Structures are given as C-alpha cells and as structure tokens.
Amino acid sequence: MKQPRRRPLDLSAYEERTRRGPCFVCAFLDGHPGYEHELIYEDADHVAFLDRWPTLPGKVLVAPREHVEHVVSGFSEDGYIRMMGVVRRIALAVESVFATERIYLLSLGAKEGNSHVHWHVAALPPGVPYEQQQFHSLMSENGVLDVPPADAGRIAAELRAALA
C-alpha cells in the first residue's frame, strides 16, 4: 500500500480547536458537524475510529464512550482491562491490514485539551529510517498524511472486515 504524501498541519488552529472546542470524542459520538470520523468499531462502552490527522497509515483512535479523563484511575480495574482488550483487538486488526515493523500504542491528552482518554494505535511501516521512527513519526509537527476521503473509507472498510 502506497503511503500518502505528508502535508503541514495548522498547529495553531489545531490547538485552538482542542482547547476551546468541544471534546472531540464526545462531539464525534453526538454527531456534531466538523467532528466526523470513519468508524472502525463500536460496542456499548467503546469506540474506535480513524484519526482525522494521521501521522502514520491507518492510525486509529480508541476511546471509551463515557467521558473519562484519567487514563488509569478513571476506570475500574475491570473497565480498564476491557478497554485494553479493545485496544489490543484494534491493534491486531491494524497489524493485519498494514505492513508493520511495529505497532505503537500511546495515550495522549491533557486537562487543557483532548481531555477525553483515547489511545493512538499507529502502525510503523517497514523501512522507515530509525531517525524518523518513534516520537518523530507520531508528531504532527512533522506533517500529517494527506488521505483523501475515498481512501479513508476504503481503509475503514478493510479494518472493519479484519475485525469481523
């Protein structure tokens, strides 16, 4: 699968959106215009969808439906284990659809922006030079992939099929 070109991300506009706008996960779940994402998976407690500004091919975000702000203490032990089970299931689907050297899993966010707990599931393609791996490959400051909507729809369909 050919990797799309990178394009710059307007970091000031992104920060303004994350700090002043509604919670992006809750807005997506409520169907707010401008917060649409390609849905990959959902159940009663969890949701997974394509990252709108992916830094790696097929990057998926996985979140609880409930607005939880603390990545560990915000969950009961059972809830955390179930959440991580969904993260694992999504990661295995991403790994089955994309050629990967490694799957990166991380949770980011802050009280000041992107406070809704979510995990990033990102597939590092084989052959990426070491100096462009790890944090470098995940940072939107290095550009985001320019994925046309039709390609995002195809990727989402492939991931949904892998989960079936």
Whether 2 is covered by a domain: the verdict is no
- Tell me what pLDDT residue 2 has: 60
Distance CA 68, CA 72 (A): 10
The per-residue pLDDT for range 15-45, each reduced to its tens digit, is 888 888 889 999 999 999 989 999 999 999 9
Whether 147 is covered by a domain: the verdict is yes
Whether 154 is covered by a domain: the verdict is yes
Whether 16 is covered by a domain: the verdict is yes
The residue written with tokens 């394509």 in the block is: 50
Q: Which domain range does residue 127 map to? A: 8-163
Mean pLDDT of the chain: 93
pTM of the model: 0.93
Instruction: Report the CATH number that the domain containing residue 122 is assigned in CATH.
Output: 3.30.428.10
Whether 1 is covered by a domain: the verdict is no
Structural domain count, the chain: 1
Whether 3 is covered by a domain: the verdict is no
The per-residue pLDDT for range 112-145, each reduced to its tens digit, is 888 999 999 999 999 999 999 999 999 999 999 9
